[in-house]
Amino acid sequence: MRKGTPNIKFLFEPRSVAIIGASQHQNKIGYKIVENIRFSKYPGKIYPVNPKGGEILGLPVYRSLDEIRGHIDMAVLAIPAKIAYQAVKDCARCGVKFLVLITSGFSEVGNTEGERKIVAYAHEHQMRILGPNIFGIYSSMAPLNATFGMKEIMPGSVAIITQSGALGLAMIGKTAVENIGLSAIVSVGNKSDINEADLLGYLASHKNTKVILMYIEGVKDGDKLVDVLKETTPKKPVVVIKSGRSKVGAMAAASHTGSLAGADEIFSDIMTQCGVLRAESIQEAFAWCKFLASAPTPKGENTVIITNGGGLGVLAADACEKYDVQLYNDIENMKKTFSGVVPEFGSLKNPVDITGQATMTDYEQALNISLKNRDIHSIICLGCETAVFAGKEISMMVKKIFSAGKSKKPLVFSFVGGVQTEEAIDHLKTSGIPIFSDVYEAVSCFGTMYVNYHNTKNSPAAEIEEREIDIRAVESIIKKARDEKRQSLLSWEARGIIEAIGIHGPESHLARNLDEAIAYAEKLDYPVVMKVVSRDILHKSDVGGVALDLLNRDEVIDAYGAIMHSCREHVPEAIIEGVEISQQVEPGLETIIGARRDRSFGPIVMFGLGGIYVEVMKDVSFRALPLNREEAGAMIKEIKSYPLLLGVRGEKRKDIDSVIDTIMNLSALIQKCKSISDIEINPLVVYEQGDGAQAVDARILISSAER
């Protein structure tokens, strides 16, 4: 945070609010905002501002900010873009802390300069900006509804941050339908200054907020976002809807907001790294938020399904696998626990089938037993409508069980049936009971609950170890390339850099002539590899610039001649500096490790298996930096071809520690050495556990911006 930057608390709990562009016309945004602030029973000072003066809803209107005597924490600007800059200046003069810039017509329509100017001015004067191009902010903490959306917002424990204004306003409406109480809803719009990360910082430690929902189209300052998310998710669940997953979607997102949507795979992997719950649709996100805001934390992972229909039980078991919910399977304990309530033709195994003859009393018994059993940590209760399981009695039974058990164990219900059943479901929903028509929806809530369970259990995160890097050695190699106006390093330069940071490859030497080549080859163990070295030759194999598997002095001599001949024939103008002589590496499992600066997330690292796995199967995983060894390990495990590292077909386990080391080293390099934009080790040949790995080739690109 910049020096003198106001505390973000005053955005959520301002002591006074000025509305610049307040209006007497009821169909104007400037009226609607004043009306909503009044309606929300905001306890602080309200200063409507309009050159025309007068009165709005009984409040005196100030002709200018200067007329206001008290301090102003927040100014809401509902004025045209062309006069916004002047208003911002006025705000600075009057000591405003936060500008809520409703106004549109900035970067979202290409006016980036107008936006940049305002932000720069605000920063110079210790002001922060929410927006522009937003509907405002609601905070139950003040309480304050400084939006031009719905008047009535039910206070509660879910906070929403939305990049889309239209969708945000519609979501406020939907919270009313779904009976979801809000602690805050913030429209971030173009995110010219304040973005998700700033807001999360406040919401993470705010005790009224139990769940945070974010609708994101594009990420700005992703590295900051990652830091804050990592701090937030061990404290409370964060649900994200990220639109623009598809190519068309990403293009559409880019066309209608100020920021480009990042590649979805990278986003998705980084959210996993941060412990964020990614929802596909608004519906799904709302269901999760509502559930997470009220469910108790489970004491363990043993989930039991109680059902009166086998089919429904099987569907739920399928859903449990999809959402990674663990079904309790201690058969002996299950038998002991449920033998009294399951008839002979039912099932004592999980899902527990109390059969279609089960009455309300049977349900109650089975649920009470589950609630009492300490080895059962959470319960999914299912029901098909039957002659003995129908109507209002369902509601009564569920309410009774839920109020008895809700503070003890997470419970979720899903019933299928006719009009009566649906009515019971609707009624129970209104009472705040997690009940769903759809089994998958019910189980998905448990899935998110268990992700959250692991987030909170695993915290605090392991320390990220500092790696010493010989930056001076690295920079001196890069300086040479920069001096020669190159944007990529030669392969032996790249290899020099990775050696300098402790990533080892085969012993290798630059030979400037045949004699040197022979001398180096003789020094190494045969077989050796020879590659042409020339900044004019990028694809060495294509011009006959590579010779593998050279077994003796004679083959080295022959290969040298052949390479020179072929390269001169193919690229006559190339200046050839010599050849690189390397030890040929033993075969092993080929992997690829890369690191680069992502436009959304800053430095990121990638891991995958070599060759086809990366290119065709796209079997790779990404992580944002910094990361610790544990996260690097998780990243490796995430790829589908991970079993190859564990060893298949009787092979031994590979040296995964070496892979982690390499990921850590490369990560440290890209973080500390701003001159490097991209680095890729391909392949890193990994041997059996204890035998390490060899970086055979490396490619390094230099940042285009001079330092």
Q: Write the secondary structure of 126-191 as one string of H (helix), E (strand) and C (coil).
A: CCEEECCCCCEEEECCCCEEEECCCCCCCEEEEEEEECCHHHHHHHHHHHHHHCCCEEEEEECCCC
CB of 22 to its own copies, least distance (A): 18
Which 3 state secondary structure label does DSSP give 80? coil
Among 79, 253, 478, 543, binds its own copies (CB under 8 A): 253
In this structure, the chain runs to a length of: 707
Number of residues this chain uses to bind its own copies (CB under 8 A): 89
Among 122, 137, 225, 312, binds its own copies (CB under 8 A): 312
Copy the structure tokens of residue 260: 């480009």
* CB-nearer residue toward its own copies: 351 or 405: 351
Task: List binders of its own copies among 158-217 (CB under 8 A).
Answer: 163-167, 169-174, 176-177, 215, 217
Q: Which stretch in 181-189, 316-324, 462-470, 692-700 sits in contact with its own copies by CB under 8 A?
A: 316-324
**What is the Cα–Cα distance from 673 to 700, expressed in whole angstroms?**
12
Copy the structure tokens of residue 559: 């290969």
CB of 563 to its own copies, least distance (A): 21
CB of 138 to its own copies, least distance (A): 14
CB of 190 to its own copies, least distance (A): 13
CB of 309 to its own copies, least distance (A): 3
Residue 595: its H or E element: strand 589-598
CB of 347 to its own copies, least distance (A): 6
CB of 666 to its own copies, least distance (A): 24
Task: List binders of its own copies among 554-613 (CB under 8 A).
Answer: 612
Rounded to 5, what percent of the chain is helix, strand, coil?
Answer: 40, 20, 40
CB of 187 to its own copies, least distance (A): 11
Among 456, 641, 689, 703, binds its own copies (CB under 8 A): 641
Task: State the pairing for strand pair 676-686/602-609.
Answer: unpaired
Residue 607: its H or E element: strand 602-609
Task: List binders of its own copies among 398-427 (CB under 8 A).
Answer: 416-422
Copy the structure tokens of residue 120: 């720069």
Reported for 416-420, long-range contacts at CB under 8 A and 24+ positions apart, including other chains, are 416/312, 416/383, 416/384, 416/385, 417/383, 417/384, 417/385, 417/390, 418/385, 420/385, 420/390, 420/391, 420/392, 420/394
* CB-nearer residue toward its own copies: 243 or 337: 243
Q: Which stretch in 111-119, 293-301, 317-325, 563-571 sits in contact with its own copies by CB under 8 A?
A: 317-325
* CB-nearer residue toward its own copies: 489 or 645: 645
DSSP single-letter state for residue 103: -
Task: State the pairing for strand pair 155-162/182-187.
Answer: parallel
Copy the structure tokens of residue 311: 């089919």
Task: List binders of its own copies among 54-73 (CB under 8 A).
Answer: none
Angle at which helix 553-570 crosses helix 514-523, to 10 degrees, equals 140
CB of 197 to its own copies, least distance (A): 20
Among 92, 327, 360, 464, binds its own copies (CB under 8 A): 327
CB of 135 to its own copies, least distance (A): 10
Task: List binders of its own copies among 76-135 (CB under 8 A).
Answer: 104, 108-109
Contact string (CB under 8 A) for its own copies, positions 332-371, x = contact: -------------x-x-xxx-x--x---------------
Is the separation of the CB atoms in 578 and 510 below 8 Å?
yes
Is the separation of the CB atoms in 37 and 146 below 8 Å?
yes
Task: List binders of its own copies among 14-43 (CB under 8 A).
Answer: 27
* CB-nearer residue toward its own copies: 223 or 353: 353
Q: Does 309 bind its own copies (CB under 8 A)?
A: yes
Task: List binders of its own copies among 218-247 (CB under 8 A).
Answer: 241, 243-247
Task: List binders of its own copies among 498-517 (CB under 8 A).
Answer: none
Nearest Cα to Cα of residue 583 among 531, 515, 655: 531
Is the separation of the CB atoms in 288 and 279 below 8 Å?
yes
CB of 212 to its own copies, least distance (A): 18
* CB-nearer residue toward its own copies: 8 or 137: 137
Among 617, 634, 701, 702, binds its own copies (CB under 8 A): 617
Alpha helical stretches, state H, 459-502: 471-483, 491-500
Task: List binders of its own copies among 423-482 (CB under 8 A).
Answer: 437-441
Copy the structure tokens of residue 569: 């024939």
* Burial call 687-697: b when 16+ CB within 10 Å, e when fewer: beeeebbbbbb
Q: Does 330 bind its own copies (CB under 8 A)?
A: no
CB of 8 to its own copies, least distance (A): 25
